[in-house]
Amino acid sequence: MDLLLPKLGLFVWNLVAFLVVLYILKKFAWKPILNALNEREKGIADSLETAARVKSEMAQLKNENEALMAKAREERAQLLKEARETRDKIVSEAKEQAKAEANKIILDAQAAINQQKMAALTEVKNQVGNLVIEVSEKVLRRELSDKAEQERYISQLATEVKLN
């Protein structure tokens, strides 16, 4: 049991040694330790403040980014709308131009057909006139006294005539 109970002399010397160490620590080490702890606490507080500031800046940047994205989407939609309108306008103009050209071609073709028709009619009239003249000429050249013979000859000439 002697080992468990310290003697008074040991207790006093331990107390004196503790007080000396406490005094030395207080004199030389306590201020630097407290200064280091205060600096560490200040550094942590500054870091937390910086983190909070960065977090708020990030939130602000995120809001700005979302606003820019919304604006970009709106501009893209506007550009697409304008492109569609331009495309529709070009297509409608092309259709109108094609219709106008088709109408012009049709009118030109009708005019050409009418012109050819008139030319053909004129040519037929000329040929008929020439045929009449030829038949009349041949009839007059051949003087027939018999009227029946004259009619038979005219019929024969009419069948021999070739139309172009």
Query: Which residue type occupies 122?
Result: T
Task: Give me the pLDDT at residue 128, please.
Answer: 83
Q: Which residue shows structure tokens 């310290």?
A: 6
Taking residues 16-29, report their average pLDDT: 92
Tens-place pLDDT, residues 29-60: 888 888 999 999 999 999 999 999 999 999 99
What pLDDT does residue 156 have? 79
Long-range CB contacts (within 8 A, 24+) of 16-22: none
Percent over 70 (pLDDT), the chain: 91
Number of other CB atoms surrounding residue 47 within 10 Å: 10
As a whole number of angstroms, the distance between CA 56 and CA 62 comes to 10
Matching residue, tokens 């979302």: 66
pLDDT surpasses 60 at 1: no
- pLDDT for the residue 164: 43
Residue-level pLDDT at 2: 64
What is the pLDDT at residue 158? 77
State how far the Cα of 46 lies from the Cα of 38, in Å rounded to an integer. Answer: 12
pLDDT in tens, 75-126: 999 999 999 999 999 999 999 999 999 999 999 999 999 999 999 999 988 8
Integer Cα distance of 84 and 92 in angstroms? 12
**pLDDT class of 145 with cuts at 50, 70, 90:** low
